Structure 1
Amino acid sequence: MKKFKWIASVLLLMFGAMQLYRPAKNQGNPQDMTTDISHVYTMPDSVHTLLQQACYDCHSNHTRYPWYTDIQPAGWWLASHVREGKEELNFQEYGNYQTKRQRNKLKRIKEQIITGAMPLSSYTFMHREAIWTPAQRQAVIAFIDSTLEKL
């Protein structure tokens, strides 16, 4: 029993120490839309809203953080997801991409939607609004197709 208390104390101390190191939050200005994809291409408001609900938390400069990200290691895990997501695609910096990269990103987004690879199931588990109906998926795909035709 004494050994159990010692191990539990050490684990509790380690967990407490983990709480002292918090990753920086992705809290850029959500209103800074000058290079946002919605300013690069004309898109229906409904499509932009869908992208914001399902994609922008990981693929923009501003993340809406749920309560559990203040508890480590969940915060570290989410920070890693956001960092990787922004490296792959940042909707708020889309206008800074070269035209070829913009075209390739649109093709990749369409592919991810069709295959169901995005949004991640770990994200939709906690964010039910990010689960699109077939009609919503088709609306985003139609926007992508019409945009690619113009490029």
Structure 2
Amino acid sequence: MKKVLIILLMVFIIIQFFPIDKTNPTTNQGMDFLKIKNTPEPIANTIRNSCYDCHSNETKYPFYSNIQPVAWLLKNHIDEGRKELNFSTFATYEPKRQAHKMEEAAEYVEQSKMPLESYLLGHSNAKLTDRQRKELAEYFRKIEKETETNPL
């Protein structure tokens, strides 16, 4: 049993030498969702607090992003989040895709699928109240309708 613990400890120490890349891609404010949609500040703050760490190029990496294998899981979540919806590059999406992403975002917020429970464990300030969920879903639906009506 002692040998197993020593081996596990050694593996844990060795994997610390394989950190994640925490470099955020450069951002262009002219492509950012909050800017191009003139998002009201209260809604913008909610989106920044609850969505931007995983769904933008403005990730703020927490202390545990230095500890493997947790950091690998974290990086995977961020990469998947950006792939699914990246608010920093929202202007590059075709109008149909923008509308679809807003529809999905509204549904995920309403159904409490976002933010993820695992994210909320370390980011209690990202937890949405029922009122914030309602406001955010309504805002995303409003942007969806505006995009469908006036795609440019």
TM-score normalised to the size of structure 1? Answer: 0.90
Residue 8 (structure 2) pairs with residue 23 (structure 1):
no
Contact 1:59 1:82 in 2 (8 A): yes
Measured against aligned partners, the alpha-carbon deviations of 1:8-61 in whole angstroms (never above 9, x if no partner) come to: 22221111110011111142356x422110122122111111111001101111
Counting aligned pairs with the same residue, the percent is 32
Deviating above 6 A after TM superposition, structure 1's stretches of 4 or more consecutive aligned residues are: none
1:138 maps to which residue? Answer: 134
Q: Is the 8 A contact 2:49 2:126 kept in 1?
A: yes
How far apart in 2 are the matches of 1:80 and 1:26? 14
C-alpha distance in 2 between matches for 1:9 and 1:78: 26
Quick one: distance in 2 between partners of 1:108 and 1:68?
A: 30
Partner of residue 2, structure 2: 5
| Equivalent residue pairs, number | 147
Q: Which residue of 2 aligns with 1:59?
A: 55
CA contact (8 A) 1:26 1:62 kept: no
Uncovered stretches (5+) of structure 1, i.e. residues with no partner: none
* Corresponding residue for residue 110 of structure 1: 106
Supply the distance in 1 between the matched residues of 2:86 and 2:143 (Cα, whole angstroms): 18
Q: Structure 2 unaligned runs (5+)?
A: 148-152
Structure with the largest fraction of helix: 2
| Aligned-residue offset at 1:99 | 0.4
Measured on the aligned residues, the alpha-carbon RMSD in Å equals 1.5
1:40 maps to which residue?
A: 36
